Amino acid sequence: MSTLLEGLPAEYRDGLRDAPSGADLAARPMLATLSDRRDFPADSWIFERKLDGVRLLAVREGGRVRLLSRTGQPLNGTYPEVADSLAAQECSDFTIDGEIVAFSAGRTDFSRLQQRLQLTDPAKARASGVAVFYYVFDVLRLDGKDVRPLPLRTRKSLLRRALKFDGPLRFTTHRNEGGQLLLDEACRRGWEGLIAKLADGRYVTRRSTDWLKLKCAKGQEFVIGGFTEPSGSRAGFGALLLGYYEDGCLRYAGKAGTGYDQATLLDLRRRLDELAAQRSPFAEPVREKGAHWSSPELVAEIGFTEWTREGKLRHPRFLGLREDKNPREVVRERPQTA
């Protein structure tokens, strides 16, 4: 057992078990629940900045580093500098969880990160001009032991001491109190919001209310089920037709016609043409002029102002594609109340 683990209190150290392989652990990451809760008991929760990036799990075993998306897609070629940083660590056996981000004007920028998401060639990724950073917030396996059952504060302490955080590797800091005041400050700074985490919570392989998403603005993923024809001088398409799954059916949520540049319009049209379908994938009739249908395989990140009474999006805008999301897992996010 490593010196780090030997230094744990006896009740934690004696309860440690051999861990499954890092890839098995990374296959089912813990997920947060959207919430509008604002009252948090002192010392029971910690608060981290909600980053506008993509989830990344990293495994190092036997000298080999693997970067994996939330859906298990290999990403070493997309973020080679991160793989290099992890390969250079003195600690040689770990599985960690975090978020990959790119910055613009001091803020995480998902649109800028999009320029890296499509790259799989390490040389092209390094030459892209888009610097990325890996903000690590949890550790699941350390020196062959399963540390998921340990309290979150203990896991973060182990993580902080196990790795050297420099270059593209960053430790996700947290605050121990704040609640509404901390969220208000985050929103004033233009952040996405906060993640509130139960301080003594375990790492579980499912969506949990031990991790809560506190957002400054509304937004979530939607499945693309088609598009409308462009009008005037616009190329590619007019708007994306969006939906989410409910009881196994794809429900129509509305159309998003803003947030695209010329290159995105053309690229998305090409990808949607490759997924062309004869029939609508939506459960209810969609009466949009000039509609084309596609197989519901692409997921888009969409910002919007609110849901209408009819269950449609108001003022939706396209933010980017989510390559790390399984379409069948996209549901309408409903805040958990306190």
Residue ranges and CATH numbers for the domains of the chain are 3-215 (3.30.470.30), 219-329 (2.40.50.140)
When pLDDT is averaged across residues 121-130 and rounded to a whole number, the result is: 95
**Phi, then psi, of 42 in degrees rounded to 5:** -60, 135
Q: How far apart are alpha carbons 309 and 302 in whole angstroms?
A: 19
Q: How far apart are alpha carbons 256 and 303 in whole angstroms?
A: 9
Q: Which pLDDT value is given to residue 42?
A: 77
Name the strand (E) or helix (H) holding 292.
strand 291-303
Encoded amino acid at 180, one letter = Q
Taking a C-beta distance cutoff of 8 angstroms, is the pair 154, 7 a contact? no
Nearest to 250 by CA among 207, 280, 270, 287: 280
Q: Which pLDDT value is given to residue 148?
A: 97
Encoded amino acid at 5, one letter = L
Residue 230 in this model has a pLDDT that exceeds 70 = yes
Point out the least confidently predicted range of 48-62, 141-155, 174-188.
174-188
What's the whole-model pTM score? 0.79
Q: Which of 50, 145, 156, 197 is catalytic?
A: 50
50 catalytically annotated: yes
For β-strands 306-307 and 193-198, DSSP reports them as unpaired
Q: Which pLDDT value is given to residue 337?
A: 60
What percentage of residues in the chain have a pLDDT greater than 90?
69
Number of helical (H) and strand (E) elements in the chain, helices listed first: 9, 21
Residue 117 in this model has a pLDDT that exceeds 60 = yes
CB atoms within 10 A of CB 259: 17
Nearest to 174 by CA among 338, 281, 82, 40: 40
CB atoms within 10 A of CB 164: 13
Q: How far apart are alpha carbons 73 and 322 in whole angstroms?
A: 12
